[in-house]
Amino acid sequence: GDVYKRQNGETVREPWRYVDTQKDQVTYRGRLIRPEKPVYILLNKPKNTLCTVRDERGRRTVLDLLEGAPPVRLYPVGRLDRNTTGILLLTNDGELTKKLLHPSSKVPRTYRATTIKPISPADVERLLRGIPLPDGVAQADEAYLEDPYTLVLTLHIGKKHIVRRMLEYLGYKLKSL
């Protein structure tokens, strides 16, 4: 149906009307609509935790870990695989989320990958040159060995399972990420 709201005393029927949240007052069905204050939470995501709002199979999600968080709808910015650990941002700030995730932003992501067998320096060079994957070439912005089994890799690509797929292409199985 049509959208009806009152903006500063005027009835508005079009859903695209610009609202200045600092000046305008918007009511819907007699109730004043107030924008939520932005909330930002950095979470050190443990293993066996999903980066989703809810899971139909009842598995633990990042939101299950947020006891005591403000009562706003929070969403994870990006994803980490269920068994990947690391820093994850959760927020209700849609603008920031778009900026961070849009490919044009080229926001770097740094990973620490530990493999079962030692990583050769030649393969580190191959990661820097680019790995041909079915969905395109995946190239590391930076890559270096912390020790023979631990690779630190920086990418601006946010594709699904990208680090795992790059290393599997080179014949490595991950112990942790």
Distances (CA, A) of 160 to 51, 87, 138, 157, 169: 12, 17, 12, 9, 15
Contact criterion met (CB below 8 Å) for 158 and 105: no
Which residue bears the tokens 């969403």?
75
User: What backbone phi and psi angles, to 5 degrees, belong to 97?
Assistant: -55, -45
Catalytic residue among 81, 93, 135, 147: 81
Q: Which residues of 63-94 are buried (b: 16+ CB within 10 A; e: fewer)?
A: bebeeeeeeeebbbbebbbbebbeebbbbbbe
- DSSP letter string, 44-91: EEPSS-BSSS--TT---BGGGG-TT--SS--EESS---TT--EEEEEE
CA distance 158 to 57: 26
Whether residue 20 lies in the annotated active site: no
Q: Which of the residues are catalytic?
A: 81
